[in-house]
Chains A and B, each alone.
Chain A
Amino acid sequence: MATGNKAGQEKEGATLRKKGLVFFSLNIFLVLTLTLAGFLHSTALILAVMILLLGTLVWGLISFQRTVVQPLVELRESVDQMIDGHLDTQLRIRSSDEIGQLCQSINDQAMNLQEVLLYVWNHVQRSWVRMSEVNTLCGSDSPTEEIQEMIQGVIAAVEQDNEDLKGLVRLYNFFEVKVEEEKLVSNE
């Protein structure tokens, strides 16, 4: 079965990892060059390489702040909003790197939670309507066979609605809780 681009993106999006490897390799290279310059007793070369090395480290630090720390701080703030019930919060996907993919997944999580809650709402509303119907039917003076059948019909419909709702809950795995024969039991 085909889905969207997730699998492809996982390979394309490892840019933070690549950046890290580039940074690491560059530093190794400069350190080795520095050592070589030391052996050659070349002050000029030593100085030049040291400047390059310092420049690379500074670049690394600034880059890390910008591409990792800052986005994570913003990410955390947005997720706190979602935790607080604001499921309309959308994380801005600024890049296709590892952090961008994380933001996409978190957005998906919020969407799922929204759908689940709307589903529950819908079913609770429908149960309420059905119960009103039963109430009306029970209020009639003599429960004829026809009325009894209608009541049975409503009850069957409510049972179906509840089965749908339980079907949704069964799609989830819960922490230390599981659904066993219609009951919620401990999973330990």
Chain B
Amino acid sequence: MGKRVLIVDDSSMMRKMIAKMLEPVGFEVVGQAKNGREAIELYQALQPDIVTMDITMRDMDGITAAKEILRLDGAAKIFFLSNLEEERYRTEVEELGALGFATKHRAKDVLALIDP
């Protein structure tokens, strides 16, 4: 799996944190989006290998954006990172066709999910 990643999160600090988790293990952050709409635009423009997607975002949430990205590119590799620990998202995420769900607060969990 290629290592060009698009980070989607409404908080610029969280985007920095996720970049700090991923860069040491060889990922290249090619873009950052702050809501679902930007995520879709940047996905089309940059064609990243993977996408990390926050769930709760203003303007357009992560689930809606992921649905649209997967519609445009069925092979898109999307990992959901959220600060909510609710198990209910896990099933929705799997039904959607995303590659998994981890809480963004735990670097180890994120890396285990994305780069096992």
Contact = CB atoms under 8 A, between A and B. Distances in A.
Given A167-B20, A168-B13, A1 B108 contact: no
Nearest to A118: B83
A90 to B, nearest CB: 7
A108 B12 contact: yes
A177 interface: no
Interface of B: 10-14, 16-17, 20, 29-34, 38, 41-42, 45-46, 58, 83, 103, 105-108
Given A2-B30, A2-B32, 10 more contacts: A3-B32, A4-B33, A4-B34, A5-B38, A108-B10, A111-B10, A115-B14, A164-B106, A168-B13, A168-B17
B80 to A, nearest CB: 16
Contact of A1 (B14, B32, B103, B106): B32
A123 interface: yes
Interface of A: 1-5, 90, 107-108, 111-112, 114-116, 118-119, 122-123, 160-161, 164, 167-168, 171
B17 A171 contact: yes
